[in-house]
Structure 1
Amino acid sequence: MFELNPGDSIPEDIARVLDGVFDDAEGRLDAMGSPNPVDVEHAVHQFRKRCKELRAVARLVRPALGPRFRDFNHLVRDASAQFSASRDAHVMAETIDSLAPATGLSPDLLAIRDRQVDVAAAATISLQQGDERTGVARELVAAARVAANGWDLPDDAAPIVKGLTLSYRQGRQSFRAAKRKPTDDRMHEWRKSTKNLGYHVQLLVATDRDALAALVVDLDALGDLIGQDHDLAVLIEGVRGTDEGMEACELARKRQHKVRKKALRLGKRIYGERPDDFAERIMVGWSR
């Protein structure tokens, strides 16, 4: 379970969570050889999620890791990146479908969608046939597990409090930057910090499950909204300058405008506290 237990040994509990995530990530790599394309696509998506979880755990205890954080983070980041192009192709096809008007896809939108479906299908077939990217990712994950096994964490909540404070501060700063000028790059930075904070609250939710329930719901909703915005930005970047890309860009920008209004409104509610106060509120039920 991706959740820490207040009162347990912190080093042992962090190790327990990491082992579970590593085991699942390795299982997802195995599943990429499935003869069922749907299973392969699901495995890619879930593997990338496990990598985000691993990086989030490391960020939470980063104050205790020092330079070891950077090495671990790079290993897991590079493992996830093996499948980013494949995932982007699937996302672009799905995003085109979501933009389709009631009358259906126009010839230009259909052309973009079909091209992305072909790219995604080719990537899936390659993985089924033992693409070298799977082997590279497996080696990187194994190296990351060895690195994590070498962490010498104190049985003290202080580094977690610092890590959580930093996580919230980064989210608050990126929210303010996006509010001032909601560019694709600023929204993407806000997305990353919000996802990270969501993982941290998920890890710490057992400190006071009832009190944190609303925050968990809000962070999930915000993550979905900013995720939609990012998918639209990926589509725009992928088709900008192409002969058939103008309509897709216009529709995507209109959708982004609506999504961003909702996201910024929700962000104001989530990021309205001082970082120290937020961390203190989250950790109030921690027994150490």
Structure 2
Amino acid sequence: MSFHFKKLESPAKAVRRLCREHIGEALGCLRNSRHPGAVHGVRKEIKKLRAIFRLVRGEIGRGIYRKAAKALRKAADRLAAPRDARVTLKAFESLAGRAAARRFPEIQKTLQKHCRRETRRFRHDDSIAVADQILRQINRRVGDLIIKADGWAAIEPGLKQSYRRGQQACARVRQKPSPENFHEWRKHVKNLWHYLRLLCPDWPAEARVLTDKLELLGEQLGDDHDLGLLKQFVAERCAGQTKEAAALNQLIASRQEKLRSAALKLGVRLYARTPAAIGRRLGQQWNAWRGETRRH
């Protein structure tokens, strides 16, 4: 399902509707939590919910935003272990390819065992119940969200801030390319991408190109992060497989170098404009889609 603003919908109505729809999707994934991809699906919906609250933070107030963000973060954290285990295994399989069982048999077994163990633990603890309760509590409060500004005025401050923070995060990565800085940059890239998909289903070509490139950048940074999880797992849990670990770490380093180089090259281009220019241009296009005249 594609979630986005409707042409004749006020920001207040759109935000409340979209929050409820994303919560509904997340609860549906929780009901199907035995499916391997369900946990990942819940976390994705939670991230989108947090992004919506962040987009209109200036309208709903910092207190309400922080309370919602804290609750959603708690729900996501309860689902992190099985998701990270599965993602780490997938990163290994993607990196090692068909040679995985031959070149890294012990590491592969350790990863598979860890993934099964985290999945079993998740199914027998109260993580699903906790996440379900949090989402239902937020759903009951969505109707109380107050957004007074209308049109682009309700949206532009949050979007400009998102672009500015991504720009700053990109600069920090260029200055200090640490795993933490790359991961932080990824969060802002994903937020801006979510906003563009959320705001309009039919952007003109210029904004579609920006959306597509943000998606690619997010994927590059996401792959880099997943490889970082794999590297950490090998260091912490595969100490006895010295030769395998050394060979795998070489593959990880090579792949991360390529991903980070490509991400920086793309990111520098995407974040070359000022937040004001981005806000102004996207506002013109959004208002044109809605059939409105931009008010100054």
Same fold (TM over 0.5): yes
Q: Which of residues 122, 136, 142 is equivalent to 2:136?
A: 142
Counterparts of residues 169-184 of structure 1 (less than 5 Å): 169-184=164-179
SS at match of 1:240: helix
SS at match of 2:4: coil
Deviation at 1:31, TM superposition (A): 0.4
How many Å separate the matches in 2 of 1:198 and 1:101? 30
Whether 1:48 and 2:49 are equivalent positions in the alignment is no
User: Letter of the aligned partner of 1:81 in structure 2?
Assistant: D
Deviation at 1:101, TM superposition (A): 6.5
Whether 1:160 and 2:176 are equivalent positions in the alignment is no
Match of 1:64 in 2: 59
Q: Which runs of 4+ in 1 moved over 6 A?
A: none
Q: Which of residues 80, 86, 97 is equivalent to 2:82?
A: 86
Deviation at 1:227, TM superposition (A): 0.4
Can you give the 5+ residue segments of structure 1 that lack an aligned partner in the other structure? Answer: 35-39
How many Å separate the matches in 2 of 1:159 and 1:89? 39
User: Letter of the aligned partner of 1:152 in structure 2?
Assistant: I
Match of 2:95 in 1: 99
Deviation at 1:207, TM superposition (A): 6.9
**TM-score scaled by length of structure 2:** 0.88
Closer/same/farther in 2, CA of residues 103 and 43 from structure 1, 3 Å limit: closer
SS at match of 2:36: helix
Match of 1:231 in 2: 226
Deviations 1:210-238 (A, max 9, x none): 33211121111111100000001111122
**TM-score scaled by length of structure 1:** 0.90
How many Å separate the matches in 2 of 1:121 and 1:101? 20
The answer to whether the 8 Å contact 2:156/2:283 transfers is yes
Match of 1:22 in 2: 23
Deviations 1:128-162 (A, max 9, x none): 5x531100111111122233332111142323100
SS at match of 1:194: helix
Deviation at 1:206, TM superposition (A): 4.1
Whether 1:273 and 2:281 are equivalent positions in the alignment is no
* Residues paired across the two proteins, number: 280
User: Letter of the aligned partner of 2:159 in structure 1?
Assistant: L
Identity %: 30
Q: Which of residues 179, 182, 189 is equivalent to 2:184?
A: 189
Match of 2:251 in 1: 251
Can you give the 5+ residue segments of structure 2 that lack an aligned partner in the other structure? Answer: none
The answer to whether the 8 Å contact 2:197/2:211 transfers is yes
Counterparts of residues 115-130 of structure 1 (less than 5 Å): 115-128=110-123
Closer/same/farther in 2, CA of residues 5 and 197 from structure 1, 3 Å limit: same
The answer to whether the 8 Å contact 1:240/1:246 transfers is no
Match of 1:202 in 2: 197
How many Å separate the matches in 2 of 1:24 and 1:179? 37
How many Å separate the matches in 1 of 2:202 and 2:98? 47
How many Å separate the matches in 2 of 1:258 and 1:205? 33
User: Letter of the aligned partner of 2:116 in structure 1?
Assistant: A
Match of 2:207 in 1: 212
Question: Quick check: 176-185 or 223-232, which moved more?
Answer: 176-185
SS at match of 1:41: coil
The RMSD of aligned alpha carbons is 1.9
Deviation at 1:126, TM superposition (A): 4.3
Match of 1:37 in 2: none
How many Å separate the matches in 2 of 1:153 and 1:223? 29
Closer/same/farther in 2, CA of residues 102 and 26 from structure 1, 3 Å limit: closer
